[in-house]
């Protein structure tokens, strides 16, 4: 049986899901959705659905992992078995272990770890439904959950991927574009400070493509940043209102 090549971009420049090349997927973030966690967030970015729970800073067990001058971050990225069309074994895969590390390192520069020596901040990321770009969506949601937990941070961290589809640079890849496209470059940054905390790439990019791609990513990050800010403010504006109304 012959497999037809997937057409990822139409003549009029629309992508498989009807987006323009520089368009993000529709994104919403809900804050404080888990009562037991110190901070939490649910992000829906296109067909991605990811829950993040943050616990801490809290006492660290086993004790020998503790650092005398700062907190450590433990991060677990995990895909639930029903998050992808074919059942995924719930055991952590190589990919998940690597992504846990990558996400942790993308968040680390933003958090003021020296405020809480000898403690741990635990970040649990559960991917409920995956459709490409889960690492970037996880970073975006995790930084919101960290802010919700009241952890001091230099800035939020926002992430998005750019990729190459038929030699066109596109923003915020979905699963098809990620699988069959010509390249994938996830970028995370602290938008307000203008510092990049994660930059990966696979596929081939020329220097010019890389530069334009990075600009595209930064534009995408700026609009995602606004969504993050709005989500956090909405959550606490309603809380502040509740406080103001008081009890009669």
Binding residues (CB under 8 A) for other proteins: these are 38-39, 56-59, 68, 110, 112, 116-119, 147-156, 190-193, 229, 232-233, 236-237, 239-240, 243-247
What's the min distance (Å) between Cβ of 150 and other proteins? 3
Nearer to other proteins, 42 or 79 (CB): 42
In whole angstroms, what is the distance from residue 98 CA to residue 95 CA?
Answer: 5
What's the min distance (Å) between Cβ of 192 and other proteins? 4
> Tokens in use for 193?
């400070």
Nearer to other proteins, 68 or 85 (CB): 68
Nearer to other proteins, 154 or 211 (CB): 154
What's the min distance (Å) between Cβ of 93 and other proteins? 32
> Tokens in use for 184?
């994938």
What's the min distance (Å) between Cβ of 221 and other proteins? 12
Any bridge partners for residue 126, and if so which?
A: 51, 78
Residue 49, number of CB atoms within 10 A of its CB: 18
Nearer to other proteins, 78 or 118 (CB): 118
Any bridge partners for residue 165, and if so which?
A: 168
Nearer to other proteins, 31 or 170 (CB): 31
In whole angstroms, what is the distance from residue 53 CA to residue 41 CA?
Answer: 7
In whole angstroms, what is the distance from residue 217 CA to residue 41 CA?
Answer: 23
What's the min distance (Å) between Cβ of 162 and other proteins? 22
CB-based contacts of 119: which residues, under 8 Å, 6+ apart? 56, 57, 58, 59, 60, 66, 71, 72
């Amino acid at each position: 049986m012959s497999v037809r090549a997937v057409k990822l971009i139409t003549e009029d420049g629309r992508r498989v899901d009807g987006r323009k090349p520089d368009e993000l997927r529709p994104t919403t973030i809900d804050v404080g959705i888990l009562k037991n966690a110190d901070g939490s967030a649910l992000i829906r970015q296109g067909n991605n659905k990811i829950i993040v729970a943050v616990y801490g800073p809290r006492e660290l067990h086993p004790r020998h992992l503790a650092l005398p001058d700062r907190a450590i971050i433990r991060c677990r990225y995990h895909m639930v078995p029903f998050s992808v069309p074919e059942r995924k074994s719930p055991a952590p895969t190589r990919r998940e272990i690597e992504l846990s590390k990558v996400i942790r390192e993308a968040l680390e520069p933003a958090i003021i770890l020296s405020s809480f020596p000898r403690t741990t901040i635990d970040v649990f990321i559960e991917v409920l439904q995956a459709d490409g770009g889960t690492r970037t969506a996880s970073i975006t949601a995790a930084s919101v959950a960290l802010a919700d937990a009241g952890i001091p941070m230099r800035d939020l961290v926002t992430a998005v991927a750019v990729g190459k589809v038929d030699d066109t640079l596109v923003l915020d890849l979905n699963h098809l574009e990620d699988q069959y496209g010509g390249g994938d470059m996830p970028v995370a940054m602290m938008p307000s400070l203008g510092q990049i905390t994660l930059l990966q790439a696979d596929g081939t990019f020329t220097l010019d493509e890389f530069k334009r791609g990075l600009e595209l990513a930064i534009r995408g990050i700026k609009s995602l940043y606004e969504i993050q800010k709005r989500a956090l403010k909405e959550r606490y504006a309603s809380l502040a209102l509740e406080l103001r109304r008081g009890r009669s």
